[in-house]
A = this chain, B = another copy of it.
Amino acid sequence: MRIGILGTGNVGRAVGEGWRDAGHEVVWGSRTPGAERTVPVADAAGFGEVVVNATPGTASMELLRGVGGAALAGKVLVDIGIGFTDDMGLSHPGVSLGEEIQQAFPETAVVKTLCTMTAAVMRDPGLVAERSTVFLSGDDDAAKRTTRALLSDLGWPESSQLDLGGIATARGQEHFALLFLGVAGALGTHTFNIRVVPPTAGTATTASTATHE
């Protein structure tokens, strides 16, 4: 598969190298191209059957608008972007970048994933001590199947992939960034992940919302 990565920071390099090692054709798009396999952003978007947003969330919308809806139409856009304000708040509080991208590019199938962990763990889930969870959010089932296969190529087994539902659920993935930072501070490392622990077998579970009356 041809994959165009937008962004050449830790995240773009990690996932791009992972997919290249898995046999995919990968190019990286940069606003300052020149390094090996690095091309202008628009060329990377044009090259990819799958386009990956690995730019900072604060810059993503402007960069994607520069690429343009025509170049992205009919493609899968895997969005890993997270934006922080200067005081480490979210740049998209109350909503999500994933939803904003999907709204701005209705002919593109946006899938939010991988943004709940550090770049090294995205590429190598074995860096953490037990199997852990990667989330997916997106409106298009075919695009999520494509993304699931790409996650498997990075080493994420199907059983570690949790589909949260439509792109509106990207909000949860992005808002986790604040807890990520708190845990990173407590552990003294970004090399960790979370695992969703399901109910004990046989436990009577409830689908009702907790109340704090």
Contact = CB atoms under 8 A, between A and B. Distances in A.
Given A197-B194, A200-B128, A135 B182 contact: yes
A112 to B, nearest CB: 11
Contacts of A8: 213
A178 interface: yes
A199 B210 contact: no
B197 A132 contact: yes
B190 A164 contact: no
Interface residues of A, number: 76
B210 A11 contact: yes
Given A128-B198, A171-B178, A206-B190, A212 B162 contact: no
A212 B55 CA distance: 5
Interface in A1-44: 7-12
Contacts of A185: 164-165, 169
A130 B196 CA distance: 10
Given A10-B212, A185-B164, A194 B194 contact: yes
Contact of A81 (B173, B197, B212): B212
A205 B182 contact: no
Given A183-B162, A185-B164, A9 B199 contact: no
Best-surrounded residue of A80, A118, A131, A186 (most CB of chain B within 10 A):
A186
A70 interface: no
Contacts of A191: 199, 203, 205-206
A110 to B, nearest CB: 16
Contact of A213 (B7, B126, B132): B7
Given A126-B200, A190-B206, 15 more contacts: A9-B211, A54-B212, A80-B212, A128-B200, A129-B199, A133-B194, A135-B183, A137-B182, A162-B183, A172-B179, A173-B179, A176-B179, A190-B209, A191-B203, A191-B206
